Amino acid sequence: MMKSHALIRMLDRGATLFLVLLGAFAIAIPALNLLVPAGSALHVSTYLVALLGKYVCYGLLALSIDLIWGYVGILSLGHGAFFALGGYAMGMYLMRQIGTRGVYADPILPDFMVFLNWKELPFFWYGFNHFAYAALMILLVPGLLAFVFGWFAFRSRVTGVYLSIITQAMTYALLLGFFRNNFGFGGNNGLTDFKDILGFNVQTEGTRNALLVISCIMLAVCFLICRAIVTSKFGKVLVAIRDAEARTRFMGYRVESYKLFVFTVSACMAGIAGALYVPQVGIINPGEFAPANSIEAVIWVAVGGRGTLTGAVLGAFVVNYAKTYFTSGVLAPYWLFMLGGLFIGTTLFLPRGIVGTWNHWRSGQKEKSEAARSADAEDGMLPTAGSPSTQPSAAE
């Protein structure tokens, strides 16, 4: 019985609707690309499949940020670092798959290492010719960095804007490091020219559709993990930490441990998003570490509605679609001004975001309806003048 109640809390109407729509999306887009003729108005191009797959990865990144910002109050301006680290782990695996098909036809060294006169493969590249090892690093590297960073930050009780600033400093430090050619990750050019993933050509329609479907599956899995966390007793403590950290600490809860756990989980999700992103866009470079990218991801969450999970994903889709639309025309030079205006407008006029505002309106309507129903019930129970209950009976 307790398990059924927990499942009902985890899969409420909004969560169920989100999963249904995500499943329909994952089925419809590949079907419209592979089964509908190219000349049809319903055909979805392979370019659009890759673009939508990128949006799904951004949605997963936004979900990871909403988990810590919306429910714990940790505003991270460096989550792009975990996203990029996951992407580099996947990129290293993809580079090892090129082999002799590279420009310099070296069976071991990637092309950029041959160009820079590297004599042997660095030790930290060992193992990336195996997908299982790469998958482990996709989770382990961002998770380990988040754990170490969070261990020192949370135990030092760094909170608020100070924590946001040091997360931004972290990603900027990584940006400078990965720009160096002697760092062993391709320098400014990064990693690109990928050929295969698990033996499948990354450029074919079938592979791109499969990557879209896998991205949707991972988004659904991570969404369920987030729902399981926030709807549990553990999640109630997280919300208490967000709303009154000092009071929660005085009640005996180990606030640092709660923060550290959820921050590490969030970083692993961001790493998965980055790993799925790389084979779909075909490149990973130090630009992904840019603090501006992390700030933009925070804007996605704010626009969609923090503390809602589904709103974070919706915000990622809405803002990135607007970015794609406006940066391809005459308004391209003004996109950053529009993005800043969108964030300011959301803060001033839509502070709960799209989904948060909708949920607030629905809860208000529900309360009004219940209040009216309760008033009607009370009126029906109270006797009125001239009613049978107020008239003397025949026996009297």
Q: How many CB atoms lie within 10 A of CB 391?
A: 9
Res. 374: pLDDT tops 90:
no
> CA separation (Å) from 345 to 112, 262, 297, 316, 341?
45, 30, 16, 17, 6
In a domain, 318, yes or no: no
- The answer to whether the Cα torsion of 286, 291, 297, 303 is positive or negative is negative
Find the range with the poorest average confidence among 120-129, 148-157, 368-377.
368-377
Instruction: Please give the residue range of the domain that contains residue 76.
Output: 2-298
In a domain, 335, yes or no: no
pTM over the 0.85 mark:
yes
In a domain, 243, yes or no: yes
* Rounded Cα gap, residues 123 and 109, in angstroms: 12
**330 pLDDT band (50/70/90 cuts)?**
confident
- Greater model confidence, 281 or 389: 281
Provide the pLDDT for residue 44: 95
The percentage of residues in the chain with a pLDDT greater than 90, rounded to a whole number, is: 81
The residue behind tokens 């420009």 is: 103
Number of domains, the chain: 1
Res. 387: pLDDT tops 90:
no
* Rounded Cα gap, residues 67 and 382, in angstroms: 49
Closest alpha carbon to 295 in 335, 340, 356: 340
In a domain, 395, yes or no: no
Res. 138: pLDDT tops 70:
yes
In a domain, 342, yes or no: no
Provide the pLDDT for residue 370: 83
Read off the pLDDT of each residue in 305-323 and give the average, rounded to a whole number: 96
Provide the pLDDT for residue 395: 43
In a domain, 74, yes or no: yes
Let me know: does 125 contact 96? Beta carbons within 8 Å: yes
Let me know: does 279 contact 204? Beta carbons within 8 Å: no
In a domain, 246, yes or no: yes
* Rounded Cα gap, residues 287 and 89, in angstroms: 15
In a domain, 25, yes or no: yes
